Structure 1
């Protein structure tokens, strides 16, 4: 049962939607302004296993004029 995050392109409102079934037919709309003009947002991860004191490494770079991108390296289990 994944939870997806969406942003309304009209009013900027962020909201989450829980999908109970992969075959579920859903009409998505902004709960604030009822617009159907939405984009899916990639949520941040807040859970890391097996780090032994190490945290995620975040690298930021320019992706174009006035835009930045980030890469997150999440440490895995030490075998």
Structure 2
């Protein structure tokens, strides 16, 4: 099951919860205030590159990608 991040629209707290994909926002309540007024937020952690990463070196060891360097 995936881990989703949520924000409570009542108390503005953010929290994570593991839920089935089909039930991502259904039946989720805020652990701080118990409100059901929540929204799913985009997780920044899955979109970051490490500080040593570079697009020009992606796939550097792969001969099929050598034509793109």
Specify if TM > 0.5: yes
| Structure (1 or 2) with the greater strand fraction | 1
Count of residue correspondences: 57
Structure 1 residues 9 and 23, CA, compared in 2 at 3 Å: closer, same or farther?
Answer: closer
Structure 1: which 4+ aligned runs deviate by more than 3 Å? Answer: 21-26, 46-49
Name the structure 1 match of 2:62: none
**CA distance in structure 2 between the partners assigned to 1:17 and 1:29 by the alignment:** 10
Map residues 19-58 of structure 1 onto 2, 5 A cutoff.
Answer: 19=19, 21-22=20-21, 27-45=27-45, 48=49, 53-55=52-54
TM-score by length of 2: 0.60
Gaps of at least 5 residues in structure 2 are 60-64
Normalising by structure 1, report the TM-score.
0.54
The structure with more helix, counted as a fraction of residues = 2
Question: Unpaired segments of 5 or more residues in structure 1?
Answer: 56-74
Q: Which residue of the partner structure matches residue 58 of structure 2?
A: 77
Q: Write the distance in 2 (CA, Å) between the matches of 1:11 and 1:2.
A: 24
1:18 aligned partner: 18
